[in-house]
């Protein structure tokens, strides 16, 4: 009888051990947000809207409420379309009834339930293009997305002999580990610099809290202070400036 009891205890312990092992090897599943399918056509829902050559680019003309357009492709908050007047042009997506995507919010890129960024493919679908391979170093690479309506600006470049200006694209950069193709950092440029920490955090749909570190070039909030699982940095437009030009989300996982 004692032997049976001992065997039964060992059996229970073995089941418990195997159960623990199963939990240990269980993979984390990221729940990817559903991207609503873009319709083939739509009607303008606002009184009047600008028609542009590129996302947030040069204005080509106007289009009025209830006018119909035929959609070619969506690029985040912009839609490439054609109609009887324009062979190829762009319009603000919310002005034809599509949802607004806050590209400056960490919630657009990060799954708080798993503590990981969404897959690269999801962000590519969201932004409407595969991105450009910008830099590649040991174990990681960067994809840059510039055709999402975040603009560009002229920047003075000091060289050894001359001083020149270059056209600098604003956009979204994904920093990705090569070994598992996981995003570990996202940097988003503002279309125009934003003045003050409070206004900048509001633009990014973040709560107003004091930063944990600040210097002449940036303001930093340690992981979890502003958003679960992320360290958040605001980069200044210039040295010691009150204006911020970009926001960075970084995960340690």
Q: Are 82 and 72 in contact (CB under 8 A)?
A: yes
Rounded distance between C-alpha atoms, residue 87 and residue 108, angstroms = 32
pLDDT digits 0-9 by tens, 88-147: 999 999 999 999 999 999 999 999 999 999 999 999 999 999 999 988 888 999 999 998
Is pTM, for the whole model, over 0.85? no
Query: Average pLDDT in the 171-191 region?
Result: 96
Domain 41-96 in this protein, CATH class: mainly beta
* DSSP string covering 91-143: EEGGGGTPPP--TT-GGGTEETTTTEEPPHHHHHHHHTS--EEEEEETTEEEE
- What's the confidence (pLDDT) of residue 65? 96
Q: Are strands 163-169 and 152-158 parallel, antiparallel or unpaired?
A: antiparallel
Nearest to 119 by CA among 35, 51, 58, 191: 35
Rounded distance between C-alpha atoms, residue 94 and residue 108, angstroms = 17
Query: Average pLDDT in the 33-44 region?
Result: 88
- What's the confidence (pLDDT) of residue 61? 96
pLDDT digits 0-9 by tens, 186-230: 999 999 999 999 999 999 999 999 999 999 999 999 999 999 999
- Could you tell me the residue ranges of all domains in the chain? 41-96, 106-250
pLDDT digits 0-9 by tens, 47-87: 999 999 999 999 999 999 999 999 999 999 999 999 999 99
């Amino acid at each position: 009888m004692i032997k049976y009891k001992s065997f039964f205890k060992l059996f229970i312990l073995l089941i418990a051990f195997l159960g623990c092992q199963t939990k240990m090897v269980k993979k984390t599943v990221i729940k990817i947000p559903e991207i609503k399918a873009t319709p083939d056509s739509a009607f303008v829902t606002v009184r009047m809207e600008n028609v542009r050559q590129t996302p947030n680019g040069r204005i080509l003309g106007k289009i009025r409420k209830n006018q119909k357009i035929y959609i070619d492709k969506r690029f985040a908050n912009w839609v490439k379309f054609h109609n009887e007047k324009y062979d190829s042009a762009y319009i603000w997506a919310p002005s034809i009834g599509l949802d607004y995507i806050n590209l400056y919010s960490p919630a657009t890129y990060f799954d708080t339930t798993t503590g990981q960024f969404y897959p690269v493919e999801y962000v590519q679908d969201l932004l409407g293009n595969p991105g450009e391979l910008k830099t590649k170093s040991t174990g990681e690479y960067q994809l840059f997305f510039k055709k999402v309506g975040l603009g560009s600006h002229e920047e003075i470049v000091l060289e050894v002999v001359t001083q020149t200006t270059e056209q600098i694209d604003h956009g979204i950069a994904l920093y990705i580990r090569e070994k598992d193709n996981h995003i570990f950092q996202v940097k988003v440029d503002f279309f125009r610099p934003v003045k003050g920490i409070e206004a900048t955090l509001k633009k990014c749909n973040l709560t107003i809290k004091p930063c944990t570190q600040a210097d002449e070039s940036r303001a930093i909030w340690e992981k979890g202070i502003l958003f679960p699982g992320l360290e958040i940095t605001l980069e200044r437009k210039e040295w010691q400036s009150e204006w911020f030009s970009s926001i960075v989300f970084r995960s340690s996982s």
